[in-house]
A and B are shown apart, each in its own frame.
Chain A
Amino acid sequence: MAETDDEWIRPLLSWAADKIEVEAVGRDELIAAGRARLARRRVLAGTALTAVLAFALGGYAIAEGVGGGGRPGHVAVTVSATAATSSAAPGTLPAPAVS
């Protein structure tokens, strides 16, 4: 246990903590707050996953030279999903669809 000399801090901590007023929270309010926070965490996780995928796709595009502007030594700032997923040959842009 704690040394006797250190015991003086114990009541001060209790007293400082007891200054916090805890409001009673209803069951529905509690569940709603928890679900809202979970939803926010999922959105944040989804955003982070999207950023990672975009970064990985960008790296792939640079390494393989696919997409517009993918020359060695240059960083392609934007990645065209159309170019990356089309059957166009590497280094070429897909021809626009003509109706």
Chain B
Amino acid sequence: MDRVSEQEYCDFVTARRGGLLREAYLLVGDVHLAEDLVQTVLAKVYVAWHRVRASEAPEAYVRRVLINTNISRHRRRRVAEVLTDALPDAADVAAGRSEAPSSTVVEALMSLSRRQRTAIVLRFWDDLPESAVAELMGCSVGSVRTHTARAMARLRAYPELRQPTTVTTMQETCER
């Protein structure tokens, strides 16, 4: 990679790393796993930077790498992800709020199947249309609708997510 390309890559990563890390966190539910996933994605992007740069939408390209890498990770290491009843959330535990809404949100997300979770994150966090989600996930629009509907039904079963206290705490934190 020449000097100019390397600089472009660095600029891209500096601008997008935060978003990728947050998306990865929603997909895997663990900060360290998310960092590992993003590092793997960035290494792949580094190798294929000439293709990423040439593509019309580099962000979509990288997002596709993220989704595919996450799927490959599950195929290779099915036991790597350990679900626990109480997710560690150091900041909230220290503040005396172990039942923090963020933990509940992540816990609820982790209760979904991988494809359901991917559909939810792409639809509601990335705000992508169903057709784009279907293309990224390599399935039909109908499948995306089914995954989304089932996931939402499951998320609605978490009353903590829809309680007014959750929303209040969320708003308070946002205002701080």
Contacts and interface: CB of A to CB of B under 8 A. Distances in A.
Interface of A: 1-2, 5-6, 8-20, 22, 24-25, 27, 30-31, 33-34, 37-38, 41
B150 to A, nearest CB: 12
B124 A6 contact: yes
B10 interface: yes
A55 to B, nearest CB: 19
B43 A38 contact: yes
A33 B124 CA distance: 31
B129 A9 contact: no
18 contacts: A6-B124, A6-B152, A8-B161, A9-B124, A12-B170, A13-B105, A14-B125, A17-B23, A17-B26, A17-B125, A19-B91, A19-B102, A20-B21, A22-B22, A25-B13, A30-B10, A30-B14, A37-B42
Contacts of B22: 17-18, 20, 22
Summarize A's interface: helix, strand, loop or mixed. helix
B124 A2 contact: yes
Given A9-B152, A18-B22, A27 B10 contact: yes
Interface in B103-154: 105-106, 109, 120-121, 123-125, 127, 129, 148, 152
A7 to B, nearest CB: 8
Given A30-B10, A33-B39, A34-B42, A15 B102 contact: yes
B74 interface: no
B46 interface: yes
Contact of B43 (A1, A17, A41): A41
B26 A16 contact: yes
A8 B162 contact: yes
Contacts of B168: none
